[in-house]
């Protein structure tokens, strides 16, 4: 399928109207009766059946509503009519943020959590519970059998030093030591829904490779300079 | 009014080459590369890779002006190598690293989806 960018499309001279670089949608809606008519994304009819409006509204509820209503565009009163033609083109986020499939992308260093077991032994079960509770996110937990403080989810640690402060407040500094691993990261990728998050990551790697390829020194750029080389440069500039 | 069009950020105009370089006349084994229509995405990653090359004495990049979409990359090397060689080597190494990252990710993804499918029961 491989839709092209309108700019690069030679079939229509970059006009952005041909079948290779654009998808046309049309919508006709008229409200005839007294009830308010909801014009939704389901009313947008595509000229290419493989390209459809994105709609995740039904899967989120989990209740079987039968058909999903689609995303509401506008509501019409009796006598009002809407006729429009929409053209969808491919683009990149650099051109306009509407084309970026990434919603939120974050990264943090992976934490290295070390519990000082000897100091931990000196705490009562109540104090251990207080310590575990003091973290806003569930990083630690009490092991059901051994009643020890264990690491429940190291990645949930957000580098707020609440547990460190709690340990100091209890009079036990150095109870836990948390460092950020310098070369291990946790990336969180959230998309708008147009592409899957895993697919977005793979696409991003491909695009980065393409960029690097474009930026490589070609043999003729080097050759043109090689002819004159160091001596030429010195002769030219001193 | 004076703002350039958004597509100027990534469309290389006619007659302009994507990457060009000038040797430094006063310092041996030093060159300044100009990469058109690129930004920190390429500049930073190539600079970081150049720092890992033991033949590279100096590597730095800058965007001369935020509204002029090009980067200047300056490389000094020892006589064991040349700036052009170091530059291409850095790009090749990055390419391999990205290939490795992609493969590892695909393996981990397959493992994860496999585990999820068995967990659904």
Is the residue at A96 inside a domain?
A: no
**Domain check: are A132 and A171 in the same one?**
yes
Q: How far is CA A219 from CA A81, A222, A224, A228, B93, in A?
A: 62, 5, 9, 15, 18
**Domain check: are A77 and A1 in the same one?**
yes
Q: Nearest CB to B101: which of A95, A205, A238?
A: A205
**Domain check: are A3 and A33 in the same one?**
yes
Per-residue pLDDT in tens (0 to 9) along chain A, 238 residues: 467 777 777 777 766 677 778 889 999 999 999 999 999 998 999 988 888 887 776 655 555 555 677 889 999 999 999 999 999 888 889 989 999 999 999 988 999 888 888 888 888 888 888 888 888 888 888 888 888 888 888 888 888 888 888 888 888 888 888 888 988 999 999 998 888 999 999 999 999 999 999 999 887 766 666 655 555 445 544 4
Answer whether B11 touches A (CB < 8 Å): yes
Q: pTM for this one?
A: 0.80
For an interface test with A, the pick among B3, B4, B7, B97 (most A C-beta atoms closer than 10 Å) comes out as B7
Q: Nearest CB to B23: which of A92, A209, A230?
A: A230
**Domain check: are A201 and A164 in the same one?**
no
Partners of residue B94 in chain A, C-beta under 8 Å: 212
The answer to whether the CB atoms of A198 and B94 lie below 8 A apart is: no
The answer to whether the CB atoms of A205 and B9 lie below 8 A apart is: no
Strand runs (DSSP E) across A58-175, as ranges? Answer: 72-76, 81-89, 102-115, 140-142, 149-151
Answer whether B105 touches A (CB < 8 Å): yes
Residues B1-38 have pLDDT tens digits of: 888 888 889 989 999 999 999 999 999 999 999 999 99
Q: Which domain covers residue A14, as residue numbers?
A: 1-54+70-90
Total structural domains within chain A: 3
Partners of residue B95 in chain A, C-beta under 8 Å: 209, 212-213
* Residue A230, pLDDT score: 53
**Strand B70-77, strand B56-62: pairing:** antiparallel
Is the residue at A218 inside a domain?
A: yes
Is the residue at A15 inside a domain?
A: yes
User: Which CATH number do you get for residue A36?
Assistant: 2.170.120.12
Partners of residue A92 in chain B, C-beta under 8 Å: 10
What CATH number labels B6-120?
Answer: 3.30.1360.10
Is the residue at A180 inside a domain?
A: yes
User: Which CATH number do you get for residue A163?
Assistant: 3.30.70
The answer to whether the CB atoms of A237 and B102 lie below 8 A apart is: no
Q: Nearest CB to A216: which of B45, B91, B105?
A: B91
The answer to whether the CB atoms of A208 and B98 lie below 8 A apart is: yes
Is the residue at A102 inside a domain?
A: no
**Domain check: are A159 and A226 in the same one?**
no
Partners of residue A90 in chain B, C-beta under 8 Å: none
* Pairwise CA distance, residues A36 & B64, whole Å: 57
Residues B56-112 have pLDDT tens digits of: 999 999 999 999 999 999 999 999 999 999 999 999 999 999 999 999 999 999 999
Range 34-63 of B in CB contact (< 8 A) with A: 35, 38, 41-42, 45-46
Partners of residue A205 in chain B, C-beta under 8 Å: 98, 101-102, 105
Is the residue at A152 inside a domain?
A: yes
Strand runs (DSSP E) across B38-108, as ranges? Answer: 56-62, 70-77
Chain A's closest residue to B96, CA to CA, is A209
**Domain check: are A182 and A223 in the same one?**
no
* Residue B2, pLDDT score: 84
Partners of residue B84 in chain A, C-beta under 8 Å: 217, 222, 225
The minimum CA-CA distance between B39 and chain A, rounded to whole Å, is 11
| Domain end marker among A165, A186, A207 | A186
Is the residue at A97 inside a domain?
A: no
Chain A's closest residue to B70, CA to CA, is A215
Name the DSSP letter for residue A188. E
* Pairwise CA distance, residues A186 & A155, whole Å: 8
**Domain check: are A36 and A76 in the same one?**
yes
* Pairwise CA distance, residues B93 & A13, whole Å: 38
Is the residue at A104 inside a domain?
A: no
């Amino acid at each position: 399928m491989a839709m092209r960018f309108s700019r690069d499309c030679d079939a229509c001279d970059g006009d952005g109207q041909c079948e290779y670089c654009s998808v046309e949608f049309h919508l006709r809606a008229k409200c005839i009766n007294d009830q308010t008519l909801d014009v939704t994304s389901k009313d947008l009819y595509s000229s290419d059946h493989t390209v459809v409006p994105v709609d995740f509204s039904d899967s989120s509820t989990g209740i079987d509503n039968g058909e999903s209503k689609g995303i509401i565009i506008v509501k019409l009163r009796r006598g009002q009519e809407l006729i429009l033609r929409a053209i969808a083109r491919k683009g990149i986020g650099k051109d306009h943020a509407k084309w970026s499939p990434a919603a939120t992308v974050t990264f943090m260093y992976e934490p290295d959590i070390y519990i000082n077991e000897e100091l931990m032994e000196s705490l009562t079960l109540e104090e251990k519970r207080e310590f575990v509770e003091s973290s806003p996110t569930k990083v630690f937990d009490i092991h059901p059998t051994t009643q020890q403080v264990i690491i429940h989810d190291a990645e949930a640690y957000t580098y707020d030093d609440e547990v460190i402060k709690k340990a100091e407040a209890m009079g036990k500094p150095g109870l836990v030591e948390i460092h950020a691993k310098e070369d291990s990261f946790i990336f969180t990728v959230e998309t708008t829904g147009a592409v899957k998050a895993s697919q977005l990551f793979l696409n991003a790697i491909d695009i980065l490779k393409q960029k690097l390829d474009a930026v490589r020194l070609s043999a003729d750029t080097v050759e043109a300079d090689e002819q004159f080389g160091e001596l030429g440069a010195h002769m030219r500039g001193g | 009014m004076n703002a350039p069009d958004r597509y100027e950020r990534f469309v290389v105009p006619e007659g302009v080459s994507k990457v060009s370089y000038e040797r430094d006349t006063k310092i041996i084994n030093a060159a300044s590369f100009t990469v058109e229509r690129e930004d920190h995405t390429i500049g930073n990653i190539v600079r970081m890779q150049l720092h890992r090359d033991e033949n590279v004495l100096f590597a730095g990049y800058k965007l001369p002006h935020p509204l002029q979409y090009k980067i200047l990359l300056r490389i000094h090397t020892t006589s064991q190598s040349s700036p052009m060689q170091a530059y291409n080597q850095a790009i090749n190494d990055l390419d391999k690293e990205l290939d490795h990252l992609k493969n590892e990710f695909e393996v981990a993804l397959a493992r994860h989806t496999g585990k999820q499918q068995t967990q659904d029961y």
